[in-house]
Amino acid sequence: MSEAKTWVLASHNQGKIKEIADLLAPFGIQLQSAADFSLPEPEETEPDFAGNAILKARAASEATGLPALADDSGLCVTALDGAPGIYSARWAGEPRDFGVAMRRVHDELEQCGSADRSAAFVCVLALAFSDGAVRTFEGRVSGEIVWPPRGDGGFGYDPVFRPEGESRVFAEMSREEKAGMSHRARALARLVAEEFGDD
């Protein structure tokens, strides 16, 4: 269990900051946002989610002297050897168009010749301390890629991802329904369990 009671979240997304701040409050953690500091935004040069999350958390912790939390996440498609993975956002181009990214997933699946449509959304949270210690917490939700895209909720690849045991894709669920089973929720659940549970 951490001694320090103020953590920094390496994110500028106000909705995400508020949500995680509220989640951590019962455990005595006060969360500050990256916006409260002049935080560096390191390039995501690592080959996996954990590496990039650690890189961002370390940079924020070194800049502030406080424990820092960062996340990295994406969609991993089995038949594409885990792609788009850490490139999930980058496949959408600039400015981001996930219609393009979803089409690319579909096209590559058609070309690869495999009938396997299994995939997983993965989120890794990294918690870095100023003494260099770091811990990671992974959450994942398994499912499969459908085509064509369905629904108008969610964002990113949600219109083509159907979680295991569900008939609907993420984009056909309410925000609350998706939240209860999302990869980010599961990573947060693991963080709470390991940082604030017994032992």
Residue pair 92/100 in contact by the 8 Å Cβ criterion: yes
115, burial (CB in 10 Å: exposed 0-12, middle 13-18, buried 19+): exposed
Q: By CB under 8 A, is residue 89 in contact with a second copy?
A: no
Active-site residue (options: 22, 36, 48, 72): 72
Among 140, 146, 150, 153, binds a second copy (CB under 8 A): 140
33 SS3 class: strand
Per-residue x/- track, 2-41, a second copy (CB under 8 A): x--x-------------xx-xx-xxxxxx-----------
Site for a second copy in 148-167 (CB under 8 A): none
Report the chain's C-alpha Rg in angstroms.
Answer: 17
Distances (CA, A) of 66 to 81, 152, 180: 37, 39, 30
Residue owning tokens 């960062």: 70
Annotated active-site residue 199? The verdict is no
Q: How many residues line the site for a second copy (CB under 8 A)? A: 35
Residue 146 C-beta: closest distance to a second copy, Å: 21
Binding site for a second copy (CB under 8 A): 1-2, 5, 19-20, 22-23, 25-30, 139-140, 174-181, 184-186, 188-190, 192-193, 195-198
